[in-house]
Structure 1
Amino acid sequence: MNRKTTALSAENEQLLQEIVQLRKEIQLLQHDVQYLEKIAREKYGMLKSNEEVYNVNPIAPDPAEPQVTPEGEIEGDVP
């Protein structure tokens, strides 16, 4: 019985801390325009009307082709 009480008390404390954090987030969302904009952008992918999104995905190098290092040296098999 004592273990169960201890476990429930710990869970209760954790839930109380979560409530405090959620209340802080609610305050930020209601009163901090910059925070609201940050969440809208990061979590929901929203944009301003004058913005565009560009997805830049670099092409992976072909492992069969030799690669040139920034020092100008060639890596890999050179025929």
Structure 2
Amino acid sequence: MGLLGAIFLIWNLFSPYGLLRYYQLKARVAELSQEVALLRQDCQDLKQRITLLKNDRTYIEKVARQRYGLVKNNEILYQFPQK
């Protein structure tokens, strides 16, 4: 009976459906849940930027100035070398 119990215990720990595999999968689910939360936040941020780009001219101007160095008429852009 003791040998059968030991085999049963080893099987429950190390089999493909055992406790060790269960804890590995549980940790993986936690990692993936965290990744999904980050991706959802990124998605929300992108949706907000899309809305701003579609509707807010001030935001469009800000992006154009920062990204592309655009200036208005009669403005002078000074660029200083980085150290």
TM-score (norm 2): 0.62
Q: CA RMSD in A?
A: 1.5
**Runs of 4+ residues deviating >4 angstroms:** none
Determine helix, strand or coil for the equivalent of 1:46.
coil
Deviation readout 1:3-41 (Å, 9 max, x if unpaired): 001100110011001100100001001100001001100
- More strand by percentage: 1
Task: Give the structure-1-normalised TM-score.
Answer: 0.65
Select the structure with the greater relative contact order (CA < 8 A; seq sep ≥ 6): 1
Identity of aligned residues (%): 37
- Residues 44 and 3 from structure 1, CA distance in 2 versus in 1: closer, same or farther, beyond 3 angstroms? same
Structure with the bigger percentage of helix = 2
Question: Aligned residues, how many?
Answer: 57
1:34 counterpart residue number: 58
Query: Which structure has the larger Rg over C-alpha atoms?
Result: 2
